[in-house]
Amino acid sequence: MKRTRKISAPLRFGLALFCMALVSVTVLGAELTILTWMGVDHVALYRELLDEFEAEHGVTVNIIRTGTSALWEKLDTMILAGTPPDVFFMSGEHHAKYHATGVLEPLDEWAARTGADLDDFFPPSLEQYRIDGKLYAIPYDFGNRVVVYNVDLFQEAGLAEPTKEWASAEWTNESLREAARKLFQTDSHGEVTRWGFVFPRSYRGIAPFIYSYGARFVLETDDGFVTGLAEPEAIEALSFLQSMFREGDWGKHGGYAEVGNGTAAMAQFIPGNVMAMQTQYPDVNWDIAPWPRGPGGRWTSGGGTGWAMSSRSAHPELAWKLLEFLTSYEVQLKHMQSGLKAPGRQSVAFHPDFLGQAQPRSMQVFIDAWFHIVSDPPVSAWGDYWPVVLAAYRELEALEITPQEFALRMSTQGNAILRESVRP
């Protein structure tokens, strides 16, 4: 008969302590992963900041950096492999898709449990990440779109500088066109040497014009989502945009650097461009103004980027601590100071290091813009819908289709995609 050996009470106690130590070491030695599209300089800053977090919590934080568009492919790959990142970038136009997959962790209870100061964030910066009242991301930044312009060129042309007040009735789409025409310049051979206005060919680049006519990219109905780009207001906005390309004497697609190098007088601009403009073009006299007002009001696009947390993290407590750290006042302040990214926290936005710039003098325009942002549509099929919109827009720009034909395509192709979108 096999005899069993009894373990003494002191030995049992010692084994229990040993097991507890093993568990503690496992937690302390945990690895967390961040997925981001931050620039190299910002990754270096965050690596330095995360060294402090790692030392405090006894963990390793790995940063995976991709390009902006490549992040979504990488995130999908990691989710399919069953190894989603613990904390990752999220945007307003994509969070409905990832909410539908169940990979986004609701953050309200975590914030309440640790007393996270969510009241310090601009309300719109949080609302864009809510679905059915639950919060699924906290802002990394909170950008928006305004107009940057060369002050000297305005003065030389005898033009009054644009208003700095978002509520003003002045500075309209027509004002933009008129000013851009006066600032447009060609050489003796008819070659363009300076455009009046430039803006990027992107969703958020085009969107402020659409919004200023009272149109939206997507509308929500009782039956689901439908395109908003077939509505009369959208056709009017698209007609204005196409007139720019047809006339060819005031505006085109381009970037803010053209204001810096003198090949454009005005451009669309975001807070994240401020430091680059300051350092790369120190001799240019420039300022910013609100987005022009249209028949539908003065609105802009934006929303920036948020930090989301995986519902499948192996270390949820640590993942939350990491997300809380990344969105803290201290980290957002250092982030803002290093690159003047638009902070989601009001306390950082009103910090003298953000507002007190020699150029642009009107940084308050960025803060006021945050209350005129149209949130990104919460459509899970956005990744399929936007390419169809962009393809039609390129044809509109090339004068190959009319605004009415654009609208018809959205009614057919656009709606076919949106019908498959999951309602949050």
pLDDT reading at 75 higher than 60: yes
The stretch 395-403 carries a mean pLDDT of 98
Please give the pLDDT value at position 398: 98
Q: What is the pLDDT of residues 275-327, one digit of tens each?
A: 999 999 999 999 999 999 999 999 999 988 999 999 999 999 999 999 999 99
| Minimum mean pLDDT range among 15-19, 150-154, 176-180, 386-390 | 15-19
Examine the domain organization and report whether 168 and 313 are in the same domain. Answer: no
Task: List % helix, strand, coil for the chain (3-state, nearest 5).
Answer: 45, 15, 35
Q: What is the pLDDT of residues 26-37, one digit of tens each?
A: 356 799 999 999
Number of domains in the chain: 2
The stretch 164-179 carries a mean pLDDT of 97
61: in domain: yes
pTM listed for this prediction: 0.88
The stretch 163-180 carries a mean pLDDT of 97
Please give the pLDDT value at position 22: 30
Examine the domain organization and report whether 273 and 310 are in the same domain. Answer: no
The stretch 208-234 carries a mean pLDDT of 96
7: in domain: no
**Computed from CA positions of residues 163, 166, 171, 176, in that sequence, does the dihedral angle turn out positive or negative?**
positive
Please give the pLDDT value at position 341: 78
Please give the pLDDT value at position 2: 41
Please give the pLDDT value at position 16: 41
CATH number of the domain within which 19 lies: 3.40.190.10
pLDDT reading at 217 higher than 70: yes
6: in domain: no
Distance CA 122, CA 328 (A): 14
Please give the pLDDT value at position 393: 98
The stretch 9-35 carries a mean pLDDT of 54
In the numeric block, the tokens 């609105």 are attached to 299
385: in domain: yes
Examine the domain organization and report whether 83 and 36 are in the same domain. Answer: yes
Examine the domain organization and report whether 293 and 399 are in the same domain. Answer: yes
Please give the pLDDT value at position 19: 37
Examine the domain organization and report whether 270 and 172 are in the same domain. Answer: yes
Please give the pLDDT value at position 339: 78
Examine the domain organization and report whether 167 and 282 are in the same domain. Answer: yes
The stretch 2-24 carries a mean pLDDT of 41
Examine the domain organization and report whether 264 and 189 are in the same domain. Answer: yes
pLDDT reading at 407 higher than 90: yes
**Computed from CA positions of residues 162, 165, 168, 173, in that sequence, does the dihedral angle turn out positive or negative?**
positive
Examine the domain organization and report whether 402 and 275 are in the same domain. Answer: yes
The stretch 53-72 carries a mean pLDDT of 95
8: in domain: no
Burial class (CB in 10 A: 0-12, 13-18, 19+), 131: middle
Examine the domain organization and report whether 183 and 253 are in the same domain. Answer: yes
CA atoms within 13 A on the CB side of 315: 23
Read off the pLDDT band of 422 (50, 70, 90): low
pLDDT reading at 153 higher than 60: yes
Please give the pLDDT value at position 338: 86
The stretch 368-380 carries a mean pLDDT of 91
In sequence order, the 6+-apart residues with CB closer than 8 A to the CB of 147 are 162, 176, 197, 266, 267, 268, 269, 288, 289, 290, 291, 292
pLDDT reading at 56 higher than 90: yes
**Residue 218 identity (one-letter amino acid):** V
pLDDT reading at 220 higher than 80: yes
Examine the domain organization and report whether 341 and 265 are in the same domain. Answer: no
Distance CA 17, CA 6 (A): 18
Phi–psi pair at 35, nearest 5 degrees: -115, 125
Examine the domain organization and report whether 290 and 309 are in the same domain. Answer: no
Tokens of 264: 């454009």
Read off the pLDDT band of 25 (50, 70, 90): very low
Domain that holds residue 315: 13-142+303-366
Please give the pLDDT value at position 29: 79
372: in domain: no
pLDDT reading at 3 higher than 60: no
Examine the domain organization and report whether 213 and 308 are in the same domain. Answer: no
243: in domain: yes
4: in domain: no
